[in-house]
Every structure is written in C-alpha cells, then in structure tokens.
Structure 1
Amino acid sequence: MRKLLPPILLALALTVATAAHAAGPTYRVHVAGLACPFCAYGIEKSLGAIDGVARVETHIEDGVVIVEMAEGKTLDRAEAAQAVEDAGFTLDGFEAPAGGSQ
C-alpha cells in the first residue's frame, strides 16, 4: 500500500494542475452601481450561477466583473445582462475575448 501512495499522489497532483490550466475564455462585464463588498457578493452570486462559469472576480473601484468560463463554454451579452439585472444592477458594457460571444 505504501508503494502505491506516491504514484497516486503524483497522478492527483497532475490532474489538479491540468485542470487549473484548462481555463476557458475570460469576459469583462462592466456594471453600473457597484459600490461595496455587499454589491460584489450579489453580482458574483448572480453571474456565478450561469452554467459554465468557472470563476468570478469583482473590481468594485473599476465597476468591472471578470468572468472566466470553463473550457469550451462561452458567455453571451444577453445572458450576462440578465444576471446583472437579476442582481439589481445595470450592464454598462461587455467585453468578450477575440472570437468570443457578443
């Protein structure tokens, strides 16, 4: 059993490392009205509920939310706008990566 542990741990570490680098496209969602950490929590919860969202990061001072999708997934403007509206805010801009959904 002890001889099996190092190869198993190595395989697990490689799997985690590969998953961490298998990120999908990243979008910049500009949101009007972000003013505090509570606002950030609400918008992150709403955008994070979209199918395929891997990571959400809010920059309150810039009014920008970075949305990273899982590999093979995309985010379209209408879907982002609905999530922003559901959180009680207004979509102020949407930047897709080159070749991404608009």
Structure 2
Amino acid sequence: MFLMSGWATSLFAAGVQYEMRVDGLACPFCAYGIEKNFMKTEGVERVDIDLKRGLVIVDTQEGVRFTEDQLKQIFDDSGFSYRGVVERAR
C-alpha cells in the first residue's frame, strides 16, 4: 500500500509543460542538439520535438521553471531561433 501511494503521488505531481516555437527545425539529427541541451538541465523529464510544426515540447518536474532568457539561451546554444512559448500546468 505504501509503494502504491508513493507512485500515485509522483504520477500527479504538478510540473509545467512548455510548448515552444522554433525556426530552423529540419531534420532529427539537427533537433537532437535541442533535446540534449534540455535533458542536461536539472528537472527536465521529457523532450518531444515536432519537426513539421516547428515545436519543442518540454515537461518539467514540480517546482522547475524556465525564464524567457533561459529558453532563449538553450535554443541559441543549439543553433536555433526561439520564437515563443506557451506554458501549461500538467
């Protein structure tokens, strides 16, 4: 019972999902740099990249937030142009 309780708590922890528009996404190999830079950031749980729509979706752990400047820097370091973000609680 204790294990199940702990599992349920982590399942419903309220992190943030960031959906970011990016210019220049053309191939999976190029997009890998974005994924790599986000995944080495503490608190990032998942990164999904939609090449066709030019979107990068990042899920973070509870209490982990990005500033606009941090997001711009990650994309700049990855060689892409950051265009904007929509934040959603998960």
- C-alpha distance in 2 between matches for 1:25 and 1:62: 21
Cα distance in structure 1, aligned partners of 2:31 and 2:8 = 28
Q: Percent identity?
A: 42
CA distance in 2, matches of 1:27, 1:56: 10
Length-normalised TM-score, structure 1: 0.74
**Which runs of 5 or more residues in structure 1 are unaligned?**
1-9
Deviates more, 1:44-53 or 1:15-24: 15-24
Write the deviation string for residues 42-62 of structure 1: whole angstroms up to 9, x where unpaired: 111112222221211111111
Residue 57 of structure 1 is aligned with which of 40, 48, 57? 48
Q: Which aligned pairs between 1:1-102 and structure 2 lie closer than 5 A?
A: 11-97=2-88
CA 93–71 in structure 1, closer or farther in 2 if over 3 Å, else same: same
Shift in CA distance, 66/16, structure 1 to aligned 2, threshold 3 Å: same
5+ long unaligned stretches in structure 2:
none
User: Relative contact order, CA 8 A, sep 6+: which one is greater?
Assistant: 2
CA distance in 1, matches of 2:53, 2:38: 17
Q: Number of residue pairs matched?
A: 89
- Measured in 2, the distance between the counterparts of 1:69 and 1:86 equals 20
Q: Counterpart of 1:83 in 2: which secondary structure?
A: helix
**Inter-CA distance 56–23: structure 2 relative to 1 (3 Å threshold):** farther
Give the structure-2-normalised TM-score: 0.82
